[in-house]
Amino acid sequence: MNQNFTSSTVYQVYIKSFCDSNGDGIGDINGIRSKLKYIQSLGVKYIWVTPFFCSPMVDNGYDVSDYRNINPDFGTMSDCEAMISEAASLGMGFMFDMVFNHTSTQHEWFKKALTGDPEYMNYYIFRDGDENTPPADWTCSFGGPAWEYVPGLKKWYLHLFDPTQADLNWENPKVRNELKDVIRFWKAKGVKGFRFDVLNLVSKPENLDNLPAGSATRFCKDGHRIHDFIRELVIDTGIDNMITVGEMASTTLEHCIKYSQPDRHEMSMCFNFHHLKVDYKDGNKWALMPADLKVLRNLFKEWQEEMCAQGGWGAVFWCNHDQPRIVSRLGNEGKYWKHSAKMLGTFIHMLRGTPYIYQGEELGMTNAHFTRLEQYNDVEAINYYKILTSQGTSSEEALNILANRARDNGRTPMQWTSGRNAGFTEAPEPWIGIPENYSYINVESEEADPDSILNYYRKLVKLRSENKIVSDGRVKFLESGNERVFAYERSLDGKSIVVICNFSPIEERINKLAAGKVLLTNYDSGNESLENLRPYEAIVIQK
């Protein structure tokens, strides 16, 4: 088992928005190549790049039509091979994104299925039924029904996401073998690890008929054969010694422990999203509520301590291409922009687990602040605008909800400079708008500022790679006596560090938790008492 991922940090690149090399407004592989030195300068060892395979791009590449070829908008196979070897010569490895729960309906397997070829129909999940009666009254993740009718076949097929993303039938061993071949193909190209999209949804219920109404994800998560499927995939492709991360939707702590315990030969680690739902009112992403910090702290405490006790391993993160920006969500875009972004970074990076930095997070990039529907691109945002307004929400309120919740908030172009289009593209316009604050939130200006969020993130990555307590220590949450101040202790071989983070925009009082040498802080001047924390203050102390 490869253990170096405990001391490494992963950088996530959303290719479409990272860097455009040829002036068509869309980020691409050669754009990534031109920025590898920048990524290396952060100190990370791995780069997860979102899918760039052939795709009609209904879900921005998470709808793959050919797993072994590259979408020409993003480059060529030789560009891709050069990207892999150039990263390797800089001491970094790529993790490619495997979307194996579903394919695009443009994939040749699905096209053959549509002709009625029984072999390929069995690659997907088709059920009989008349045109007015789907097998179950399930909803898909992007709004609307999860079963789609094909009149020519007089059958329904299952899609947990968009109707153009048909779910694969993992019960069919041929499907599993096809997918293993895809892994072998990219492994042979020199890829160092993999991220598996919604991996815990691939094992569907044994009997799909007569199930009650509800969200399809709810019925398909952590299914009865999931652990066997994952182990088979990992062992047969020989990726057990590589870095792997499974994206686990609506999962449980018990399952994530199993997915990541090394002796089970499943994943190196998993993503889960419970901590990013603490501002969902009644669990509904499209209903706004201030974040419940008490719930947030308890989720971290429970997952961190249990994973540690049972030998599981988690990915720790705030941001990705499906999430609004964390500084807009739990921090502050105004007076405390820098302090809050650094505090949020400190909290994640000192935890037990492998931290992920999503492009632009290291700059403190914010939400998009779009005010018109036309500014959005994501199929989910556009669907939910329609759903919300059809249910009586005013257009103004629906736009306010999107401004807080849409995935496009995290998908605006990487802000490289204060120049035209933030230095992202030479095109007249990028494929999606750029927040106005790129004038001061950008790589160029943060490189020049020793106190920038960017330079602080470099310190966080370095601390983990150089300090064994951070990479390998146990974790225990401490009682600060204040719901807005989270604190935990990491310890190893009789030594320990204490991390204290104030999630509040005002001064907060806490119990005295530690004394010792300050390893890192987001304020210029020290904090002698450690009982009075300044707004969004973060301190790491070596006891």
Adjacent-strand bridge partners of 495: 492
Q: Is residue 26 part of the contact set for Ca ion (CB under 5 A)?
A: yes
- Of ligand TEU, Ca ion, none, which one sits near residue 249, judging by CB under 5 to 8 A according to partner kind? ligand TEU
Q: Kindly identify the residues of this chain, within the stretch 222-281, that bind ligand TEU according to CB under 6 A.
A: 247, 249, 273
Tell me the backbone φ, ψ of residue 34, rounded to 5 degrees. -70, -15
Q: From CA 63, how far away is CA 8, in angstroms rounded?
A: 30
Is residue 183 within 8 A of residue 238, CB to CB? The reply is no
Tell me whether residue 449 is one of the annotated catalytic residues.
Answer: no
Query: In this structure, is the dihedral angle defined by the CA atoms of residues 426, 429, 434 and 440, taken in order, positive or negative?
Result: positive
Q: Which is nearer to ligand TEU, 62 or 126 (CB)?
A: 62
For residue 191, the minimal CB distance to Ca ion (Å) is 22
Tell me the three-class secondary structure of 420-477, residue by residue.
Answer: HHHHCCCCCCCCCCCCHHHHCCCHHHHHCCCCCHHHHHHHHHHHHHHCHHHHHCEEEE
Q: From CA 470, how far away is CA 53, in angstroms rounded?
A: 36
Q: From CA 278, how far away is CA 292, in angstroms rounded?
A: 6
Query: Binding residue for ligand TEU (CB under 6 A) from 44, 121, 198, 381?
Result: 198
Query: Binding residue for ligand TEU (CB under 6 A) from 197, 232, 361, 408?
Result: 197
How many Cα neighbours within 13 Å face the side chain of 519?
A: 21
Q: From CA 317, how far away is CA 390, in angstroms rounded?
A: 34
Q: Which is nearer to ligand TEU, 161 or 300 (CB)?
A: 161
Q: Which is nearer to ligand TEU, 99 or 319 (CB)?
A: 99
Residues near Ca ion (CB under 5 A), total:
5
Query: Binding residue for Ca ion (CB under 5 A) from 16, 20, 92, 201?
Result: 20
What letter does residue 245 receive in the DSSP assignment?
E
Q: Kindly identify the residues of this chain, within the stretch 287-346, that bind Ca ion according to CB under 5 A.
A: none
Query: Binding residue for ligand TEU (CB under 6 A) from 14, 161, 416, 438?
Result: 161
- Catalytic residue among 197, 266, 361, 537, which? 197
For residue 536, the minimal CB distance to ligand TEU (Å) is 26
For residue 398, the minimal CB distance to ligand TEU (Å) is 17
For residue 298, the minimal CB distance to ligand TEU (Å) is 21
For residue 97, the minimal CB distance to ligand TEU (Å) is 8
Q: In which element (H, E) is residue 77 found?
A: helix 77-89
- Of ligand TEU, Ca ion, none, which one sits near residue 28, judging by CB under 5 to 8 A according to partner kind? Ca ion
For residue 376, the minimal CB distance to ligand TEU (Å) is 14
Query: In this structure, is the dihedral angle defined by the CA atoms of residues 38, 18, 363 and 62, taken in order, positive or negative?
Result: negative
Which among 24-32, 171-179, 386-394, 485-493 is the span making contact with Ca ion, rule CB under 5 A?
24-32
3-class DSSP state of 341: helix
**CA 82 from chain center: how many Å?**
25
First to last CA, the chain: 32
Q: Which is nearer to ligand TEU, 249 or 514 (CB)?
A: 249
- Of ligand TEU, Ca ion, none, which one sits near residue 197, judging by CB under 5 to 8 A according to partner kind? ligand TEU
Q: Is residue 141 part of the contact set for ligand TEU (CB under 6 A)?
A: yes
- Of ligand TEU, Ca ion, none, which one sits near residue 26, judging by CB under 5 to 8 A according to partner kind? Ca ion
Which among 11-19, 22-30, 203-211, 489-497 is the span making contact with Ca ion, rule CB under 5 A?
22-30
Is residue 62 within 8 A of residue 15, CB to CB? The reply is no
For residue 197, the minimal CB distance to ligand TEU (Å) is 5
Q: From CA 249, how far away is CA 212, in angstroms rounded?
A: 20
For residue 512, the minimal CB distance to ligand TEU (Å) is 39
What does the chain come to in residues? 543
Contact flags string 317-336 toward ligand TEU, x per CB under 6 A: ----xx--------------
Tell me whether residue 361 is one of the annotated catalytic residues.
Answer: no
**CA 65 from chain center: how many Å?**
22
Q: Is residue 34 part of the contact set for Ca ion (CB under 5 A)?
A: no
What letter does residue 211 receive in the DSSP assignment?
P
Q: Is residue 475 part of the contact set for ligand TEU (CB under 6 A)?
A: no
Question: H helices of 278-378, where?
Answer: 293-310, 326-329, 337-349
What letter does residue 199 receive in the DSSP assignment?
G
Structure tokens at 386: 């329609």
3-class DSSP state of 539: strand
Closest among 531, 502, 498 to 516, alpha carbons compared: 498
- Of Ca ion, ligand TEU, none, which one sits near residue 22, judging by CB under 5 to 8 A according to partner kind? Ca ion
**Contact footprint for ligand TEU (CB under 6 A):** 59, 62, 99, 141, 161, 197-198, 247, 249, 273, 285, 321-322
**Contact footprint for Ca ion (CB under 5 A):** 20, 22, 24, 26, 28
Residues catalogued as catalytic: 197, 247
